[in-house]
Amino acid sequence: MGGDDAVTRDPPSTLGRSLYAGILAYMALDGFKNNDKRVAVAEAKGVPMPELLVPFVTGMLFVANLGIVLWRFPRAAAGAVIVFFLGTTPAIHDFWTMEGEQRHANKINFLKNVALLGGAVMLLDRATGRESDRDARGAPEDE
């Protein structure tokens, strides 16, 4: 349930998780700070119950961020980040419906979120305990 001790102590993994979680923490804290604006955007996009969902998913992102950086309940944490990005990215950054600078800015944010989604998928893979990286390198099992 907790984290894999080898992952928790591995300096590159700790650095990578910290950098990744730092971005998620910034996004969540900014979301809390600008909740009213985000609720208005979600409402304009047709998101149901935006007054409830926006702060809920922002809190989910913040808690998931803690799970990733501390490597506690990593599957749940990575899964929550995946759910966050799968839900918010196409709904909020629907650049294909826009024109000009708004289209360009939302395309960048859409692609950024897709990259962060990819990172969460890799973290989920790591959290499942599969040894795909070791197997791909042909390293011995006791590595």
CA nearest 75: which of 123, 116, 28, 118? 123
Q: How many CB atoms lie within 10 A of CB 100?
A: 7
Domain limits, the chain: 5-132
Q: What is the pTM of this model?
A: 0.83
φ, ψ for residue 82 (rounded to 5)?
-60, -45
- Of 98 and 134, more confident: 98
Coil, helix or strand at residue 3:
coil
Q: pLDDT by residue (tens digit) across 9-37?
A: 676 688 999 999 999 999 999 999 999 99
Would the pLDDT of 79 be above 70? yes
What pLDDT is stored for residue 4 in this prediction? 56
Would the pLDDT of 49 be above 50? yes
Over range 27-51, report the average pLDDT.
Answer: 97
